[in-house]
Amino acid sequence: MPEDEYIKDEPPPFLGRWPRVYALVLCELALLILAFYLFTIHFAPAPQ
């Protein structure tokens, strides 16, 4: 394969720019942690 394609820094296939994709990934992480926290609280054993 051509070497220039290997080092070419093309835009992502969605959202237009890589920083937006990074933001999407970090938002998903924040939402997952929040969801897991609510899940933990909801099912946590009541204090004895």
Partner 1 sequence: MRPLDWAVLISWLVLLVSFGLWRSRGSNTVSQFLLAGKTMPWYAMGLSIMATQAGAITFISTPGQGYVDGMRFVQVYFGLPIAMVILSATVVPIFHRARVYTAYEYLEQRFDAKTRALVSVLFLIERGLSAGVALAAPGIVLSAILHLPFGWTSILMGCLVILFTTLGGIKAITWADVPQMTVILSALILALGIAIHLLPPGVSFLDAAKLAGAAGKLNAVVPQFDWKDRYNLWSGVIGGTFLALAYFGTDQSQVQRYLTGKSIGQSRLSLLFNAMAKVPMQFLILFIGAMVFVFFLFDKPPLLFHPAELARVQQSAQYPSIESRYNDAFERRRAAAIEMKDGNDSAVQRFRSAQKDFDAARADALRLTKEGDTNYIFLTFVMRYLPAGIVGLVLAVIFTAAMSSSAGEINSLATVTVIDIYRRHLRPDESDHHYLAASRVATVFWGAFATIFATFGANFGALIEAVNQVGSLFYGGLLGVFVLAFFAKKVGGTAAFYGVIAGELAIFATARFTSIKFLWYNVIGALVVVTVGLILSRFGRGPRAHATGL
Task: Name the residues that contact partner 1, by CB under 8 A.
Answer: 1, 3, 5-13, 18, 21-22, 25-26, 28-29, 32-33, 36-37, 39-40, 42-46, 48
**What's the closest the beta carbon of residue 10 comes to partner 1, in angstroms?**
5
In the bound complex, what is the minimum distance in angstroms from residue 9's beta carbon to partner 1? 5
Residue type, 39: F
* Token digits of residue 44: 């946590």
The distance of closest approach from Cβ of residue 28 to partner 1 in the complex, given in angstroms and rounded to an integer, is: 6
Contacts of 23 (CB under 8 A, 6+ apart): none
The CA–CA distances, whole Å, from 39 to 5, 6, 36 equal 45, 43, 5
